[in-house]
Amino acid sequence: MTQLSKGANTALPTARVRVTLHWTPRPGVPDVDASALLLRAGGRVGSDDDFVFYNQPQHASGAVRHTGKTPGADSLEVDVTALPGDVERVVLAASADGGTFGQVPGLTLVATDADSGAQIATFPMEAAAETAFVSGELYQRNGQWKLRAVGQGYSSGLAGLATDFGISVEGDDGAAPQAPEPAPAAPPAPAPQTPPAAQTPPAAPPAPDFGAPQFEASAAPQFGSPPQGMPQQAPQAAPAPPPQPATPPIQQPPAPQQHQAPPQQSAGVVNLDKGRVDLTKGARVDLVKSAAPPLSNVVMGLGWDPAPGRKSIDLDASVIAYDQGGKKLEIVWFMHKKEFGGAILHTGDNLTGAGDGDDEQIKVDLLNLPPQVTSLLFTINSFSGQKFTDIQRAFCRLVDGNTGEELVRFDLSASQPATGVLMALLRRTGPQTWQMRAIGDFHDGRTVKKLVGPGQAHAVAP
């Protein structure tokens, strides 16, 4: 067994190799996910199919497989003899969920013979503020396949790393709103009536260079701008008190309520007074109860089941945040699971659709969302390209995050041969109140970014 240092390489004595990332799991340590990219000429993938990870666990050639995770370990297997002829390198990457790699102790890459289990090489690694990492790469030199220790970090997360190698993904780690998507499918949105955004702060310093001169794609990505300041409404000055009478003033008693009374119900729209509301396509419900405080924490659960004869179906739940004018602010999905300081949190990905209950959940802290977030659009996509005609049923349900009570449910009864669907929208109706609308519109798109344009029309609709 060989212990590699950064930049060193060793020949592979076998065609089938297992590469495993090991770390020490304990409370507060981010979870780690291993992935691989099959690179063609120019150091880029041929298509999104060349990205192997937990949500696309096998390459079409069968040469690279994500074999699964155990506590403190995540593995990939590579058969170099089965790789397509134009694949020049296999980059071994990883992402940290819930923190940075600097918070992951004992991070080590271990290569073993996939058949015998004999160890080939180990590579202990150190990191700092990176949320994605290239641990190593398999490459061919003079007919011999080798393993090189890379140890290159990316502060832009798995989405940034994948984009650097040509993968079409969405979800950078900066909280600054991006420019609107070019040529959206929806009609132009009206000019927003919100205050102008604060000036963008200076760009963050680049990620540290860990020095891997032999690594052909080791340049750090172009990092997005750091979070913009969120416009805050200036507090109004209290009016001057009226002149006091000669007699002693009457002491005013304290206000008996700790919260404002809920707003009046929207015309023709039900609220939650009578319990759970079942929506049909296009229907709405005000998320308020009379004489009750506003909802604070909610969970949007989304689920689906494979159609008869289908063993599994891999779909992905996501949420797009828009402002009043229909501009996309952020996307939270399986590659970017947290935004707005944790006010929106994706709890993880389901790869089969099997079992009862929610397949994926997205938690929302309504009271801590920035005021410019006026709409939250919940979507479902098939990254692997499976159609909704392969699904027996799909649903979404809104749950009170504090009590566990199911508040609203929408069962999608229709089905179309599409790869994406806009499920439901939460719309801000007041400083602390929201309304939910069932949508159920189908569109094509393997990732949520393809649904940003179609979603704009719903974000600005009355």
Give the Cα-Cα-Cα angle 429, 361, 359 (nearest 5 degrees): 135
CA separation for the pair 174, 171 (Å, rounded):
9
Do 311 and 456 lie in one domain? The reply is: yes
Give the Cα-Cα-Cα angle 298, 336, 39 (nearest 5 degrees): 155
Q: Of 165, 181, 216, which residue sits at a domain end?
A: 165
Do 283 and 161 lie in one domain? The reply is: no
**Which amino acid is present at 420?**
G
Range in 126-140, 220-234, 301-315, 423-437 the model is least confident about: 220-234
Q: State the pLDDT at residue 346.
A: 92
For the chain, give percent helix, strand, coil, nearest 5. 10, 35, 55
Any domain includes 272: no
* pLDDT-derived band at 55, boundaries 50, 70, 90: confident
In a 10 Å sphere around its CB, with 0-12 CB exposed, 13-18 middle and 19+ buried, how is residue 308 labelled? exposed
In a 10 Å sphere around its CB, with 0-12 CB exposed, 13-18 middle and 19+ buried, how is residue 299 labelled? buried
User: Looking at the predicted structure, is the pLDDT value of residue 429 above 80?
Assistant: yes
Q: Of 165, 198, 233, which residue sits at a domain end?
A: 165
CA 345 to chain centre: 8
Q: State the pLDDT at residue 102.
A: 92
Mind listing the pLDDT tens digit for each residue in 15-40?
Answer: 999 999 999 999 989 889 999 999 99
* pLDDT-derived band at 200, boundaries 50, 70, 90: very low
Any domain includes 88: yes
Q: State the pLDDT at residue 227.
A: 39
Residue labelled with tokens 């398999």: 138
Range in 92-96, 233-237, 399-403, 443-447 the model is least confident about: 233-237
Do 161 and 308 lie in one domain? The reply is: no
Any domain includes 216: no
Query: What are the angstrom distances between the C-alpha of 22 and each of 25, 105, 109, 220, 413?
Result: 9, 9, 6, 24, 44
* pLDDT-derived band at 155, boundaries 50, 70, 90: confident
Do 291 and 417 lie in one domain? The reply is: yes
Do 15 and 151 lie in one domain? The reply is: yes
* pLDDT-derived band at 241, boundaries 50, 70, 90: low
Q: Of 135, 165, 195, which residue sits at a domain end?
A: 165
Domain residue limits at 8: 2-165
| Higher-pLDDT residue of 286, 181 | 286
Q: State the pLDDT at residue 338.
A: 87
| Verdict on whether the full-model pTM lies above 0.75 | no
Report the CATH number that the domain containing residue 442 is assigned in CATH.
2.60.60.30
Do 7 and 129 lie in one domain? The reply is: yes
Any domain includes 395: yes
The mean pLDDT value for 344-354 works out to: 67
Mind listing the pLDDT tens digit for each residue in 57-113?
Answer: 899 999 999 998 999 999 999 999 999 999 999 999 998 887 899 999 999 999 999
C-alpha torsion sign, points 76, 80, 82, 85: positive
Q: State the pLDDT at residue 171.
A: 40
* pLDDT-derived band at 349, boundaries 50, 70, 90: low
Q: What is the CA radius of gyration of the chain?
A: 25
Domain count, the chain: 2
CA separation for the pair 66, 83 (Å, rounded):
15
Any domain includes 309: yes
User: Looking at the predicted structure, is the pLDDT value of residue 226 above 60?
Assistant: no
Residue labelled with tokens 């997205």: 362
- Cβ atoms of residues 78 and 72 within 8 Å: no
Any domain includes 344: yes
Any domain includes 267: no
Any domain includes 232: no
